[in-house]
Amino acid sequence: MIERASCALAAAALCAAAGCQPAKRAPPAVPVSPPPVAPPMVLAPDPARIAQDSLAAARARRLRIAQEERLPDPDTAAIAAEAQACAADARRSWAEQFPEAAAQRARGRVGAAGAEALYLEAVCSATSARMQGFTPLIDYKGELIAAFRRVAELTPDLDGAGAERELGALQAALPTYAGGDLEEAREHLLAAVRRAPQDPRNHLVLARTVAVKAQDRALFKEHLEIARACGDEQAARDADALLQREDELFGPRGEAAQPIPGGPHR
């Protein structure tokens, strides 16, 4: 009995001793830093998309210019501004595809993929210059001629032989002292007629530029009659309007009465 009591007392003493010990504290929590947040990805501009969107913008602007030019009293300042924006859009399009050509201003190095943009840049630049008179047209003639020649090499059928048509219109518009050449204009416009005889614009431009400036009534009437028969109602109206001005356009003051060409012609 004494041994059992001693064992119980010893156990109690051990338990009491254990209960008197302070509880061990848990180590302080170490703060965990959140994972670093990656910066948002910035995608590089896609040159192909920029070129496509810029070309679409230039096309839309050119259509608006054509509509404005048909108004009875067109706003030449507004047309010039819209044409400048059109040219800038078109230039951006081909420059994205051919950056080296753009850096060197070498339009002759633009490839076929940029032909339409190069054409629209030249057409709209010519329109802007035409709205401001002969001087800007003369100043910009070198780049215009280079662009149209390059387009004629790359895509001669574009816009109804538009490059040949525009070259002819430009050569007819420029005075001789500034590089204008009526016979060269005739050759370009006849080339456009041969390549796209169904496009009334080629006949209209030939009639109202070369035919008037050369005072060639037969050429004037021949191609206006063709334009009237092309099946385009607007072209027929334009041809009729020119035929009604025949007496005004031919004679001593005929050459002075012709409109200044050089931009897009319908």
pLDDT digits (tens, 9 = 90+) for 109-118: 999 999 999 9
Sign of CA dihedral 192, 139, 86, 147: positive
**Dist. CA 241–CA 263, nearest whole Å:** 19
Q: Check whether 236 has a pLDDT greater than 70.
A: yes
Here the tokens at position 237 are 């109206």
Is 120 within a domain?
yes
Boundary residue ending a domain (129, 155, 181): 155
Alpha carbon separation from 229 to 70, 152, 186, 190, 207 (Å, rounded):
21, 27, 22, 18, 15
- DSSP string across 184-246: HHHHHHHHHHHH-TT-HHHHHHIIIIIIHHTT-HHHHHHHHHHHHTTS-HHHHHHHHHHHHTH
Boundary residue ending a domain (155, 182, 198): 155
Look over the chain and give the mean of its residue pLDDT values, rounded to a whole number: 86
Tell me if 55 sits within 8 A of 90, measured CB to CB. yes
Q: Check whether 10 has a pLDDT greater than 90.
A: no
Q: Check whether 264 has a pLDDT greater than 80.
A: no
Residues 83, 132 within the same domain: yes
Residues 58, 147 within the same domain: yes
Q: Check whether 151 has a pLDDT greater than 70.
A: yes
DSSP at 64 = H
Sign of CA dihedral 35, 39, 41, 44: negative
Residues 114, 165 within the same domain: no
Is 180 within a domain?
yes
3-state secondary structure at position 29: coil
Residues 219, 177 within the same domain: yes
Give residue-wise pLDDT tens across range 191-219. 999 999 999 999 999 999 999 999 999 99
pTM of the model: 0.78
Residue 188's closest CA among 158, 167, 160, 162?
A: 167
Confidence band, pLDDT 50/70/90 cuts, at residue 31? low
Is 10 within a domain?
no
- DSSP string across 80-127: HHHHHHHHHHHHHHHHHH-HHHHHTT-GGG--GGGHHHHHHHHHHHHH
DSSP at 178 = G
3-state secondary structure at position 183: helix
Q: Check whether 16 has a pLDDT greater than 80.
A: no
Is 39 within a domain?
no
**Dist. CA 227–CA 150, nearest whole Å:** 27
Residues 145, 176 within the same domain: no
Residues 166, 144 within the same domain: no
Is 28 within a domain?
no
Boundary residue ending a domain (93, 128, 155): 155
**Dist. CA 22–CA 117, nearest whole Å:** 87
Q: What total of structural domains would you count in the chain? A: 2
Residues 87, 166 within the same domain: no
Is 3 within a domain?
no
Residues 117, 73 within the same domain: yes
Is 248 within a domain?
yes
Range of the domain at 204: 157-266
Question: What element of type H or E holds 36?
Answer: none
Is 165 within a domain?
yes
- pLDDT > 70 in the chain, percent: 78
Confidence band, pLDDT 50/70/90 cuts, at residue 243? very high
pLDDT at 173: 92
DSSP at 57 = H
